Structure 1
Amino acid sequence: MYFFLANLSIMDMTSSTTALHRILTNFISGDKSISPLNCFMQMYFFSSLTSDELLILSAMSHDRYMAICNPLQYHTVMNRRVCVVLAISCWLVGFIQVSPLVVTLFHYTCYRSNKINHFFCDMMPLVKLPCDDISFLDLFIFVNGILLATFPFLFTFVPYLFIITSILKIQTNIGRRKAFCTCSSHLMVIILLYGTLVCQYLRPISVDDLDSNKLFSLFNTAAVPMLNPLIYSLKNKRCYVGFEAEFHSELMKLVY
């Protein structure tokens, strides 16, 4: 679990740095310009890291499934080699699947404007700029969005159906609490991230909604990476204290 949490922390820090460092630079210098190359690089790294985060959360769901539903086989199946292969695969797939979009968008020669109504170079504002035919971009974003949204979503939430079923079958309150605390923090992070992405990318955007879209983008780039370590640390601490108190209570009943 902590191996995947380390990867998630690196992704959070890198994605926040990719988007927010330019905002701080613009705020200090007053210069809001950015070169086309830097703009496309910013979009590429931020989109790739967002995809990586969805994939690593899917890997963490499988890890939690093995820990709760098959605890006797956990150390055999989720060994160090398997965890490393899963992490490397998540990193590679996230960076590879965004590359065709960035290369295609970078090679357009005509743009409607050199300004975007956003605080960093996000994918959705940039794909609206080319004045040439963007049917390929629309098709690629549609197909890529289905693949990126459907498979990580299924691989993330389907294991939790089995996890919840296994938790309900546990006879003791201590066992149910321990199992629930093992996966509750991860489930909260998943709901927070997917909820933000749905509000940001999977709703119709009009001119009047651009400000709200920027608000969701700011929440995704700044608030979510900041909340993730708080959720994992404070939630685990509270669950551990509650589990320890209940354990001592049950132990005292057995003693007396």
Structure 2
Amino acid sequence: MLGNETRITEIILLGFGELTDFQILLFLVFLVIYIVSISGNILIFVIVIFSQHLHTPMYFFLGNISFLDICYTSNILPRMLLALLTGNKVISFSNCLMQWYLVGSLLVTECCLLCAMSYDRYLAVCKPLHYVTMMKTQTCVKLAVTSWINGFTVFMILLILLLQLNFCGPNEIDHYFCDYFPILKLSCSDTKMIIQFGYLVDAMFTIPPFFLTLTSYVYIIATILKIPSTTGKQKAFSTCSSHLIVVSVFYGSLIIVYMLPKNEGKHDVTKFYSLLYIVLPPLLNPFVYTLRNKEVKEGLKNVIGKIVCYKLIP
């Protein structure tokens, strides 16, 4: 249906065109961010896989999030870097839809994975005697698989609905990546129903995980405060502090972007604020987990030791 009805074959992502004099500087900044994000998340992913003492539910979910962040940043930043370096802001319509589909699917998947991690931390702190029996390997795999399926299935429905629309111009999007509502503005069809459905999907697959995560940490903090010894409190909090920081950064950035009043004259502000959830979580996650976590540091030493031994021993 898309082939015969859609007149737009290419879309121009205006990106940061208003900052004409800073294109090279922006390129260098985002290049460093991309390299650090990719390197850090690949490192975490490798550490989790090859360190036996990290084969636990918490690090299983962490490995999933690191892999997700690798996919997430690779879906957006390389195309942005190309546009900044060469000035080529054109993307095919099909690639634009695919970029949006991957962004949305991975965002929903991360919401679900963070919720699963908070449930894991809740059991570890509040139900320690039942933790081993309740968080079995099979349970972790089911939670992770469900998270990935949720994200990619629900946005497949939205993608199918988008393909039913006519897109006859204009073909410019004032953004640095293809997002749902900017794409809908290019359609000459009636988009009222699909806009409402988009809001419904966002609410269904982001708000419940957020409140479940929030509820888990309310119980966790309440349980920690009941621990009589200061040492016990510090040890209990250390088991979930890294995840709490990641959750705060991720949901905090989403709330800042989507809870801001929508003002037609302030597209640029929203565009820049969106960098908070596009760039910040994948960039900070490796630092949060490596700099604040002794187990990950130990895993890094083990992996480096194995690499060194492999190179030294013929």
TM-score normalised to the size of structure 2? Answer: 0.73
Displacement after TM superposition at 1:91 (Å): 0.4
Secondary structure, in 3 states, of the residue corresponding to 1:34?
strand
Residue of structure 2 equivalent to 1:16: 73
| d(CA) in 2 for partners of 1:141, 1:171 | 48
- Structure 1 moving runs of 4+ over 4 Å: none
**Do structure 1's residue 183 and structure 2's residue 233 form an aligned pair?**
no
Deviation at 1:32, TM superposition (A): 0.8
**Any unmatched runs of 5+ in structure 2?**
1-57, 298-314
Question: Does structure 1 residue 108 correspond to structure 2 residue 165?
Answer: yes
- Please list, as runs of the form range in 1=range in 2, the aligned pairs for 1:41-56 lying within 5 A after superposition: 41-56=98-113
- Residue of structure 2 aligned with 1:173, choices 217, 226, 230: 230
Residue 215 of structure 1 and its aligned partner are, at CA, apart by: 1.1
1:77-226 maps to which residues of 2 (within 5 A)? 77-226=134-283
CA offset at residue 149 of structure 1?
Answer: 2.6
1:237 is displaced (CA, Å) by: 4.3
Cα offset, 1:30, TM superposition:
2.5
Q: Give the counterpart letter for 2:213 in structure 1.
A: T
* Higher RCO structure (Cα 8 Å, ≥6 apart): 2
- How many corresponding residue pairs? 239
Q: C-alpha separation between the residues in 1 aligned to 2:204 and 2:72?
A: 21
One-letter code aligned to 1:216: Y
Deviations 1:51-72 (A, max 9, x none): 1001000000000001001111
The Cα shift of 1:109 comes to: 1.5
Tell me if structure 1 keeps the 8 A contact 2:169–2:187. yes
Cα distance, 1:208–1:221 mapped onto 2, change above 3 Å? same
Structure 1: where are the runs of 5+ without partners?
241-256
Counterpart of 1:64 in structure 2 is 121
Task: Look up the equivalent residue of 1:218 and give its one-letter code.
Answer: L
Corresponding residue of 1:246: none
Q: Which moved more, 1:49-58 or 1:211-220?
A: 211-220
More helix by share: 1
Distance in structure 2 (CA, Å) of the matches to 1:195 and 1:229? 18
Does structure 2 retain, via aligned residues, the 8 Å contact 1:40–1:106?
no
Match in the other structure for 2:292:
235
Question: Scaled by the length of structure 1, what TM-score is found?
Answer: 0.88
Higher alpha-carbon deviation: 55-64 or 208-217: 208-217
Once structures 1 and 2 are overlaid, which stretch shifts more, 200-209 or 117-126?
200-209
Can you list the C-alpha shifts for 1:90-127, whole angstroms capped at 9, x where unaligned?
00001111112222223312344101000111123112
Contact 2:108 2:206 in 1 (8 A): no
